[in-house]
Amino acid sequence: MLRIITLTTDFGAIDGYVASMKGVILNINPQAVIVDLSHSIEPQFVRQASFILHTSWRFFPEGSIHIAVVDPGVGSHRKAVILKTPSAYFVGPDNGIFSYVLHELAQTHVSQNVPSTTDLKKRLLPEGCEAVALSNQEFWRHPVSSTFHGRDIFAPAAAHLSMDVSLSEFGESLDSLFAFPIPEPFTDPAGNVVGCIVHIDRFGNLITNFKKEHVPPKGAAVEIRNQRISSMNRIYAEGGGLQALIGSNDYLEISIKDGNAASLLGATVGDTLKLLNAANL
Amino acid sequence: MLRIITLTTDFGAIDGYVASMKGVILNINPQAVIVDLSHSIEPQFVRQASFILHTSWRFFPEGSIHIAVVDPGVGSHRKAVILKTPSAYFVGPDNGIFSYVLHELAQTHVSQNVPSTTDLKKRLLPEGCEAVALSNQEFWRHPVSSTFHGRDIFAPAAAHLSMDVSLSEFGESLDSLFAFPIPEPFTDPAGNVVGCIVHIDRFGNLITNFKKEHVPPKGAAVEIRNQRISSMNRIYAEGGGLQALIGSNDYLEISIKDGNAASLLGATVGDTLKLLNAANL
Amino acid sequence: MLRIITLTTDFGAIDGYVASMKGVILNINPQAVIVDLSHSIEPQFVRQASFILHTSWRFFPEGSIHIAVVDPGVGSHRKAVILKTPSAYFVGPDNGIFSYVLHELAQTHVSQNVPSTTDLKKRLLPEGCEAVALSNQEFWRHPVSSTFHGRDIFAPAAAHLSMDVSLSEFGESLDSLFAFPIPEPFTDPAGNVVGCIVHIDRFGNLITNFKKEHVPPKGAAVEIRNQRISSMNRIYAEGGGLQALIGSNDYLEISIKDGNAASLLGATVGDTLKLLNAANL
């Protein structure tokens, strides 16, 4: 039996929304081990939820179930779905929230740098994945509200899944899900690699979409908001100013020892930055 | 054996207060399943705790134990109590924190619209409910502090309750608890129904004390802060401006697609609003 | 088998860092009971984490494991350690984060009032304590990052510890750990006792380093930021202005009924205050 169910939402800490979901889960599976992944996603910021989920889900035991509910279209025509990957289950709205997970699995590269929420597209599932729509109302809570599917559809679905209800019982099979393009770095005419900030963490570290393989073996300089950062280090405690390092999810980050790089630079998610070609240094 | 214990407090996220309560519970019942309901109640805002608890407790399995500690009078003459209802247990100070729960069960209607914290009154328990004072010091943690009964009285009481200690062992039986009046909509001379905002959630949705039955079958307009809202919809994603809908706890809410209605309107808890009589439209 | 693992970090609520640690723990010990102690420690504020941990750990069952990760030096030469005390285990960086715990156990008094982060010193372990360095890579997650030892070293160590791996298997024994001096009140030439604010809680209560034994049996006046506070009470609900009382962790606190003493006084952690000698009143 699967026991672990994680929750990623934009419900925040004040209201009883998260607790209501947990109550519904425990009603169905009193043995469920429920883990908060994050409830502080910015309201309706589906991309942020998708990214945060992607940085954490793979550290959970195989077969864990991850509910993600950032769902501005709740009650509309958007589908409610389960995505089964080779090592985990994901439950949530079909609104792009699983884009990073799908991208990880597909390793498809989309050469587009600027995040946009407008170009959601249906994409075929990567090999080894399955998906179903949560159309079988037998697994919903009743009466079902039109504004809180987290409590009435996603939580009960995950709980039933954790009780070994098989995927096909939840509803019709899907061969594609909606996903937004994941911004990938690209090389500009001058030979620099252009990327962007995909997340800013609690410490003000700027997490970019550069991965290890984008960084020249001998390091490089980073240009961001008209500042050049030449320190390429290994740990946060190095350096006396802004520095770049490879963070714990293998993305290049901009940080500063004992400080907040985001505040210092006035940087925000979506800002572009460049890994400079040695010839341009 | 009862296993689920939920916690609703104004203790916030920084201090170790919540964890201390959990430690005390786990010392007494290592099998307890502890669920955070909310710890971000505004300091000493008993009414908010009462409302939040009311929106969530009923989704938990029968027999769950709900501790609620927003307790400005800790250590004073106010009693510490357990309330037993037909489907759950509540543990906390006798300061009105269970007003909404009692109201739900009693379905008494009090025609008073403006929330006030000054008119706490003793009210007889609804049928099917029991209450006891936590006077038996055998079930307290010792030494008991005069400033943190959450840790020293409520947590141990809930833990012992979850170990099947019977209600009568905790202390003397009570036939009434303190409660504040729940503001109920009323009809004004012009035939409009006057209500108020009882909660603003993380999304800025204004949750009112209007329930489904107050809304005319053909919809109505809402007037709030000199704005008239004529869109009565079913889901958050509809409309292009302010709208009203019935939310997931069956209260009428004011929301706006992809925005924050509270900020837009400058609305706060306690503000009045009107459901306009068709004749006044 | 030890089952309870608590977490104290400065990771905040948005990112997936805390969840990643929980996933790693549950992979190793699916039966672990994980409890959040605090994740809202101010970024890199090791002293705050040390104090908060100290106010809460002792309420957990004997044998509980407390992970504390506020770790600005992650990846540097600072050691990763387990501290075993007579009643609990602590896992974290050797950067002073266990100073308050060690102080509690050693009851050594250091006559120094002003907190400082610069005078970390190696101190011999109190009697009955043991410590080891987490040098045995067999108990690390691989590949180990250089920026997130919470996930890759501390979480797996705690999980293995909870599975009864013996202390000596984790690495070499240590007879001392780094600790900062705990500020202790001292008597000034005029006979007043000088102390400082060590923490401000969510309610704005100023928690000082005065303990019961510093307060004259007949009470005293407190002087802080040029204000004299003469009310010495027992509970928060007393008094009509600023008051002093002994809080739930046996420290003297400055509070105000229905208000926030910290805002009112403009007080911050580290501010000094005096318990006035009766002769000076």
Determine how many CB atoms are found less than 10 A away from the CB of residue B202.
18
pLDDT of B242 > 50? The answer is yes
Residue entry with tokens 């009589």: B277
Dist CA C69 CA B15 (whole Å): 16
**Helices A17-28/A155-162 angle, 10° precision:** 30
Question: How many contacts does B have with C, using Cβ atoms within 8 A?
Answer: 103
AA letter at C128: G
pLDDT of C97 > 70? The answer is yes
Nearest CA to CA, how far is B162 from chain C (Å)?
A: 17
CB B105 within 8 A of CB B189: no
Q: Structural domains in chain B? A: 4-179 (3.40.50.10790), 186-280 (2.40.30.90)
Dist CA C67 CA C82 (whole Å): 9
Q: Which residue has the higher pLDDT, C2 or B36?
A: B36
- Substitution target in B5, B9, B10, B15 with the highest count of C β-carbons within 10 Å is B15
Nearest CA in chain C to A245: C147
Q: Which residues of A touch B87 (CB under 8 A)?
A: none
Residue A11 has what pLDDT? 97
- Tokens found for residue C98: 């266990």
How many helices (H) and strands (E) in chain C? 7, 17
**B4-25 mean pLDDT:** 97
**C177-195 mean pLDDT:** 93
Q: What is the DSSP string of B163-190?
A: TT--GGGTS-EESEEEEPPPP--EE-TT
Q: Give the SS3 label for residue B90.
A: strand
Q: Does B26 touch chain C (CB under 8 A)?
A: yes
* Cross-chain CB nearest to A59 (options C10, C23, C76): C23
Beta-carbon contacts of residue C198 (< 8 Å; ≥ 6 apart): C51, C115, C183, C207, C208, C209, C251, C269
Beta-carbon contacts of residue C14 (< 8 Å; ≥ 6 apart): A38, A40, A41, A52, A201, A202
CB A154 within 8 A of CB A67: yes
What does the pLDDT look like over C194-220, one tens digit per residue? Answer: 999 999 999 999 999 999 889 887 768
Residue C111 has what pLDDT? 41
Structure confidence at residue B112 as a pLDDT band (50, 70, 90): very low
- Is the Cβ pair A236, C75 closer than 8 Å? yes
Q: Does C237 touch chain A (CB under 8 A)?
A: no
Nearest CA in chain C to A43: C14
* Cross-chain CB nearest to C202 (options B11, B19, B72): B11
Residue entry with tokens 């306009």: B276
CB B177 within 8 A of CB B106: no
Q: Which residues of A touch B245 (CB under 8 A)?
A: 146-147
- Residues facing B207 on adjacent strands: B199, B253
Residue C1 has what pLDDT? 63
β-strand pairing of A193-200 with A272-275: antiparallel
**Helices B46-56/A17-28 angle, 10° precision:** 30
Structure confidence at residue B275 as a pLDDT band (50, 70, 90): very high
User: Average per-residue pLDDT in chain C?
Assistant: 92
Residue C108 has what pLDDT? 44
CB C169 within 8 A of CB C136: yes
* Cross-chain CB nearest to B26 (options C4, C36, C55): C4
User: Average per-residue pLDDT in chain B?
Assistant: 92
AA letter at C47: R
**C102-108 mean pLDDT:** 82
- Helix or strand run (H / E) with residue B27: helix B17-28
CB B222 within 8 A of CB B274: yes
- Substitution target in C47, C48, C212, C236 with the highest count of B β-carbons within 10 Å is C236
Q: Does B36 touch chain A (CB under 8 A)?
A: yes
Residue C118 has what pLDDT? 57
pLDDT under 50 in chain A at which residues? 108-117
Task: Tell me which chains share at least 3 CB pairs under 8 Å with chain C.
Answer: A, B
What does the pLDDT look like over C158-167, one tens digit per residue? Answer: 999 999 999 9
Residues in C 66-85 with any Cβ partner in A closer than 8 A: 72-76
- Tokens found for residue B73: 């009078």
Dist CA B236 CA B253 (whole Å): 10
Beta-carbon contacts of residue B127 (< 8 Å; ≥ 6 apart): none
CB C209 within 8 A of CB C183: yes
* CB burial readout A125-138, b (16+ within 10 A) else e: bbeebebbebebee
For residue C233, count CB atoms less than 10 angstroms from its CB and return exposed for 0-12, middle for 13-18, buried for 19 or more. middle
Q: Respond yes or no on whether the N-terminal peptide bond of residue C143 is cis (omega within 30° of 0).
A: yes
Nearest to C141, CA basis, from C131, C127, C155? C155
Q: Comparing A18-27, B268-277, C114-123, which segment has the lowest mean pLDDT?
A: C114-123
AA letter at A105: L
Residue C27 has what pLDDT? 97
| ipTM score over 0.90, yes or no | yes
pLDDT of C73 > 50? The answer is yes
What letter does residue B192 receive in the DSSP assignment? P
* Cross-chain CB nearest to C40 (options B14, B34, B72): B14
What does the pLDDT look like over B71-104, one tens digit per residue? Answer: 999 999 999 999 999 999 999 999 999 999 999 9
What does the pLDDT look like over B124-174, one tens digit per residue? Answer: 999 999 999 999 999 999 999 999 999 999 999 999 999 999 999 999 999
- Tokens found for residue C227: 């204000």
**B228-243 mean pLDDT:** 86
Q: Which residues of C touch A36 (CB under 8 A)?
A: 18-19
Residue A1 has what pLDDT? 63
Determine how many CB atoms are found less than 10 A away from the CB of residue A150.
27
Dist CA A119 CA A112 (whole Å): 11
